[in-house]
Structures are given as C-alpha cells and as structure tokens.
Chain A
C-alpha cells in the first residue's frame, strides 16, 4: 500500500548544525496490517511517520501510495491525500483547548463542507463507540488523559481514512489505559484499516496486536521488518 524508496531527510542542510534524520530508508507497508516502528528516541521514527503521513517532505527519495508517486505533489494535493488517507493520533493528543470533545472530533471534516447534522451524528457515534457519549459537550482540557486520547482517535476516524498513524500512543498512558488503547486499535484493524505505530513501549510493540515490527536506529532501518512476536 505504501512504499518508500531511498528516503533521506536532512534538517538544516548546509549549516553547521546539519542533521541527517533519515538515511536511505527503503520500506514497504502492506494494507490492512498493524506495523510498529520501534527504536530509541532520536532514531527517526517520528520523522518517518511524518513523511509517510504527508506532514513533511523527504529531502530526497520517493513515496508511493497505492502505486501513485506522491513525493512531488504540490501542497494542495498533498493536503487532499493527507485528509482522505490518514488519521493521526499524536503523542500529545494535540486537541484544541476551549472546544468540546465533539467539536474537536468534527474539525478534520470542516474543510469538506458536508451536511452538519450528518457530521454531528457521525461524531457522536464515534464518541459513543469509544465510550465518550456522556463527555461529548465537555471541553477537552477538562478530560482525563485516556479520554483525551479517545477523542483524538475519534478525530482521526471522522473522515474514515484507510490508514491510522499513531506516534508513541501509549507514552502518556498508564498500563490500564494503554491496554484500552490497544483494544481500540485491534478493533480498528479488524475493520480492515492499516495501522502504523511508532513506539518503544514493549507492552505495545511486543503485543499480538502488532503484525510487523520495523527496528530503527540513527535514522536507518537496522534489519528488515520482523513478524510480530519475533522481538519478544
């Protein structure tokens, strides 16, 4: 589904503080599979997720999505690809304070200009599915960490994207909430979605939920993707 060829990402190119975040990444991510990027901090996991999710462009190399090269697309088209293809769950959740849970969930759909009632119903349905129906009108800054993450997941799903990207999703959660997150992801994977995670949390990466693990270090893939359980 997603194919990366010789991806390089350099920050501050040509300056004293030039930094090579990714060096020659070659990777194929099959559809309908839960893949985890594993590696220590600074190994390039987040940068790679950003490039896959069209949040950043590679310095060089090719990104192909469903056999289509999207590396050179202009910003407008790249946004469209991002909007239709990916749902993001960020490490810090990145919800917008001051807005209610359901308003946050609906945000990605605003630029599509769909029917308001249908959108509201869909947001409420997603929140209800994540056991947040009673919190839909609560401002997000008043929610607990686990509730905030579930709002973030609902937001990632509002445009029904085929791919979910989650960066260090359990980093800010205790074990019980992390297990809850994994259960939700398992359910999403069961609906045929492709899930891409980055984490160095063994609870997540070594769980039966993850079908492939890609190990990274110093901006490189250290060895080819291994099937789930192999890292245990």
Chain B
C-alpha cells in the first residue's frame, strides 16, 4: 500500500512539473474551462435559488384562488359568491380580493395594484414595491400620481416601501385601501377580482376545488401548487434556453479538448516514448495523464463553481439576471439564499469533468500503447 501511495505521489509530482512546463497552454485551457463551468453553474445555481425563493414566498399563499370567467376571460365576481362558498364543508376561510394591472406610461412599466388585506391604509395613501420605488424615484412621504382608465387623475401619498426580501414577487406591487382601489378602477361595491380560500385539511384541497368547479361552473379554481408549478416551469424554460446556448459553448470546449488531446504535439509523443523506454508502463503513463487531466479539470471545476457561487449569491447574478428574471422594466433586486444541490453539482461535474477526461485520455492511451522504439531513433 505504501509503495502504491508513494508511486502516486511521484506521478503527481511529475504531473505538476509537466503542467508547469506547458504553463501558457495549460493556463489558457484552465481559463476557458473555468469560464464554461462558471456559465453553466451560474445558470443552475441561480434558477435553483429562484425556485427556492419562490417556494418560500408562496408558502403562505392561499391554497385555492377562485376566478370567474366570462367568454373565456377573467371577469369580476358579483355579490353572493362569498356567501355560497361559506356554505361549503371544509372551507376554513374565504376572502374577496381586489387587484388589477396598471400601465404607467411614465416609465413604460406595468404595475400590479392590490388591496392590502394585512394592513390598514389610510385613504389617499399607498405602499409600493421596491422595484417601482426605484424606477419612479420615490420614497415614503412623496406624492405619486396615476391617471385612472376613466381619465381622472389620482394623487397618493407613499406610506411605505415593501421590504426587499419579498422583491421577487413584489417589485411591481402597489398596495392601497379598498375604497381607493374601487374608486381608481371604478369597481362597484360587493364585486371582487377573485376569491381566496383556505382549507381546513390540506389533503382535501383537490376535493374542494372540484366542488367549487361544480357549484360555480362559470369559475375556475387555481391551486397554490399549480402556481408554484407555473413558476417552476417558467424558470425551467428560461434556464433551458440559457443552458441550450451554454451547451454550444460546452461543445466548442469539447472540440478544443479533443483537438488538444488527439493532436498530441511531437514533444508530448516523444515524452511518452521516453517514459516508456526508461521503464514506465502504459498504465503509468495513463495514470500520469489522468492526474494531469484531473488536476486541470478539478481546478477549473472548483474555480468556475466558486466564481459562479460568488456571482449568484454575492453579486446578485448581475450577468444573468436580465435573461433569467425576465421582468420587462422593473427588475426585482433581491438577495437569494445560498442553495447548493448535490444532484446539481454531480450533474455539472459529469457534464464538464467527465467529457474532458475521456477526450484527453483516449488519444493518450493510443499513443501510450505503441512501442517506444521510435525514441531510440531520436
């Protein structure tokens, strides 16, 4: 065992010296390799952390949202629905919700207006998301005006800015009182945009959703898990696009690695011949080259992954955010909680380190199994 360990140490020593001897070439390769890993790891870490953040934020959302449909379009819920829902067994809590979209021509952005159900807002005041506050350059105490769809101008005082922690879902949010909302969007009393429901037994969510569908054939129940799934598929879709582009880069790198390996330089072939002539066997040469590939690819993997981690969790993924967050004007700014998924790391490892090792080892093996006789001839 000691002999084996000592032998590996000798091989590693030689490998390090070998890497140092072709410094420029290996540094170039390390840089390209690290960049590829950085790109792939950034996309994976970022989308994974986004999903996690969305899951955490939506964990407190109602289990079911009921929306009324007219001619296949979302419409207001008229009075009477809330009372009928209250009679359904298993419904713990129901609440009419008021929300709507508003296009702000000043900054060419869409806002989500919503009646705050967890805070009491004085008439004429509102609370805005951090993204909106940034875009419009407003702070608590400032006045802000919006022209309603009726043509009437409304001026509000900003009571507060929503915390940055929730910015993923609140960047474009405007919270206001019910009376102000109804006046701004011209919605009559008793009408709601939709109804939220909390269910006593979470296992009964689907049963209650089907009862709602039966009792209110003009409505559609939306489950919290469906919203989460939608978020998930949106992030997966965006991640897929970026990864598809990154795959091209990966492919280019694989070609480079193959080129490097299969096109062994005369010096490298000569070196393999010398080593064999002086007593190294094919296995020794392959082990040495394995260590060379392993050191290079592991260093590149660690460097790339570490850089990606810092990029995503300390620099807010500034290079990828525009592609992966996807807001048109109001980009949310938020700190993602660091999440590292073992399966993800393993996948990335196999997609980067493994192809490189294979691309380099196969041609070296071909060179290493030939007779060292040519070395004798200089």
A155-B14 Cα distance, complex, nearest whole Å: 15
Contact A55 B7 (CB under 8 A): no
Cβ-based interface call for A125 (8 A): no
CB contact list, A121-156 vs B, under 8 A:
155
Contact B17 A103 (CB under 8 A): yes
Cβ-based interface call for B91 (8 A): no
Chain A residue numbers with a CB within 8 Å of B280 are 79, 107-108, 110-111
Chain A residue numbers with a CB within 8 Å of B70 are none
Cβ-based interface call for B6 (8 A): yes
A107-B13 Cα distance, complex, nearest whole Å: 11
Contact A113 B7 (CB under 8 A): yes
A224-B304 Cα distance, complex, nearest whole Å: 67
CB contact list, A68-93 vs B, under 8 A:
75-76, 79-80, 82-83, 88, 90-92
* A90 contact from B8, B11, B20, B378, Cβ within 8 A: B378
B366 to chain A minimum Cβ distance, whole angstroms, is 14
Contact B378 A113 (CB under 8 A): no
Chain A residue numbers with a CB within 8 Å of B275 are 107
A219 to chain B minimum Cβ distance, whole angstroms, is 15
Given contacts A55-B371, A56-B373, A88-B278, whether A110 and B10 have CB atoms under 8 Å apart is yes
Chain A residue numbers with a CB within 8 Å of B17 are 98-99, 103
* A79 contact from B20, B279, B373, Cβ within 8 A: B279
Contact A75 B277 (CB under 8 A): no
A121-B281 Cα distance, complex, nearest whole Å: 25
Cβ-based interface call for A94 (8 A): yes
Contact A111 B6 (CB under 8 A): no
Cβ-based interface call for A193 (8 A): no
Q: Mask for A31-50, Cβ within 8 A of B = 1, else 0?
A: 00000000000000011011
Chain A residue numbers with a CB within 8 Å of B21 are 97-99
Given contacts A90-B378, A97-B21, whether A107 and B278 have CB atoms under 8 Å apart is yes
Chain B residue numbers with a CB within 8 Å of A206 are none
Contact A55 B377 (CB under 8 A): no
Q: How many A-B residue pairs have CB under 8 A?
A: 95
* B276 contact from A47, A79, A96, A115, Cβ within 8 A: A79
Cβ-based interface call for B227 (8 A): no
Contact B281 A111 (CB under 8 A): yes
A113-B287 Cα distance, complex, nearest whole Å: 14
Contact B281 A115 (CB under 8 A): no
Q: Mask for B1-25, Cβ within 8 A of A = 1, else 0?
A: 0111111111100100110110000
Q: Mask for B40-55, Cβ within 8 A of A = 1, else 0?
A: 0000000000000000
Cβ-based interface call for A159 (8 A): yes
Given contacts A79-B276, A79-B281, whether A91 and B11 have CB atoms under 8 Å apart is no
Chain B residue numbers with a CB within 8 Å of A159 are 279
Chain A residue numbers with a CB within 8 Å of B271 are 96
Contact B371 A116 (CB under 8 A): no
Cβ-based interface call for B284 (8 A): yes
CB contact list, B254-294 vs A, under 8 A:
270-271, 274-284
Cβ-based interface call for A112 (8 A): yes
B270 to chain A minimum Cβ distance, whole angstroms, is 8
Contact B284 A110 (CB under 8 A): yes
What residue in chain B is nearest A155 (Cβ atoms)?
A: B278
What residue in chain A is nearest B375 (Cβ atoms)?
A: A94
A111-B282 Cα distance, complex, nearest whole Å: 11
Contact B274 A75 (CB under 8 A): no
Contact B277 A116 (CB under 8 A): no
Contact B279 A82 (CB under 8 A): yes
Cβ-based interface call for B376 (8 A): yes
Chain A residue numbers with a CB within 8 Å of B372 are 55-56
B7 to chain A minimum Cβ distance, whole angstroms, is 3
What residue in chain B is nearest A84 (Cβ atoms)?
A: B279
Cβ-based interface call for A114 (8 A): yes
B213 to chain A minimum Cβ distance, whole angstroms, is 73
What residue in chain A is nearest B369 (Cβ atoms)?
A: A75
Cβ-based interface call for A57 (8 A): yes
The contact sample of 25 A-B pairs, CB cut-off 8 A, is: A47-B373, A55-B373, A56-B371, A76-B281, A79-B280, A79-B281, A79-B282, A88-B376, A91-B376, A99-B17, A99-B21, A107-B275, A108-B279, A110-B10, A110-B14, A110-B280, A110-B284, A111-B7, A111-B280, A111-B284, A112-B7, A113-B7, A113-B10, A116-B6, A155-B278
The residues of B with any CB-CB pair to A shorter than 8 Å are 2-11, 14, 17-18, 20-21, 270-271, 274-284, 369, 371-373, 375-378
Q: Sorted from nearest, which 8 A-B pairs have the closest CB atoms?
A: A113-B7, A83-B279, A98-B21, A56-B373, A79-B281, A110-B10, A92-B378, A113-B3
Q: Given contacts A94-B378, A96-B274, A108-B280, could you give 8 more A-B pairs where the C-beta distance is less than 8 Å?
A: A55-B373, A76-B281, A80-B281, A90-B277, A92-B378, A99-B17, A110-B10, A113-B10
